[in-house]
Amino acid sequence: MLKGSKKPVKTELPLVVNTPGWVKGIGHDILVDVLKYIAPTHVVKINISAEGKNLPSGAFWLDEDHKESVNLIEVSSARQDSFKRSVLVQKDAGLLRDLRIMAYFRQCFPSNLNITTIKELAHALTSHPPYEIPISSIKIKHLHCQVPSTEILYSLNATIVGLAVSSEDSENLSPCIGLGIVRGIHTF
């Protein structure tokens, strides 16, 4: 509250989405869906000198009618050599994604537990007692593909899933509150 005011003041924090390595294939499709869903007011797109490694120009995720609704800021990479070419730090996008997933699930354990490799994390996760829930108590939604109803349980087994709060409005996506790992499915 402001001094002398009886009304609470809302401060809006920016949502920052960093998607390194998500410019091709399914990564591009997911990025487009995320941008359409969150409908940002501002987007900062960092381009490098190698055109083939950049996203399409402009507000590529929007229809022609909505392109004016976003403030798009395009900048060139600050890391350049003496010929004004972008200096690419060689990092495998897949490795970076694996490290982020590892860091996320590492939070399940006390910080004094020494987990430094994917193998150690996998061992710790399999040693952790799983939560068990009846399949009838959850809703399953695949975002980017259609899965036959007879294959839904198979498609979930041994996968990382988004955990969302159930919504009465089936038109909109429910807010994701975290990630989970499906370790096994028993149908009896």
**Per-residue pLDDT reduced to its tens digit, 19-77:** 766 677 778 888 888 888 888 888 888 887 777 778 888 888 888 777 677 888 888 87
Mean pLDDT (whole number) for 145-162: 89
Examine the pLDDT at 158 and tell me if it is beyond 50.
yes
Domain locations in the chain as residue ranges: 25-76, 91-128, 129-188
Whole-number pLDDT of residue 144: 76
Examine the pLDDT at 3 and tell me if it is beyond 80.
no
Whole-number pLDDT of residue 123: 92
pLDDT band at 180 (very low <50, low <70, confident <90, very high): very high
What's the mean pLDDT when you consider all of the chain? 79
**pTM score of the predicted model:** 0.55
Q: Which of 117-126, 138-147, 176-185 has the weakest average pLDDT? A: 138-147
Cβ of 15: how many Cβ atoms within 10 Å? 7
The fraction of the chain above a pLDDT of 70, given in percent, is 79
Examine the pLDDT at 148 and tell me if it is beyond 80.
yes
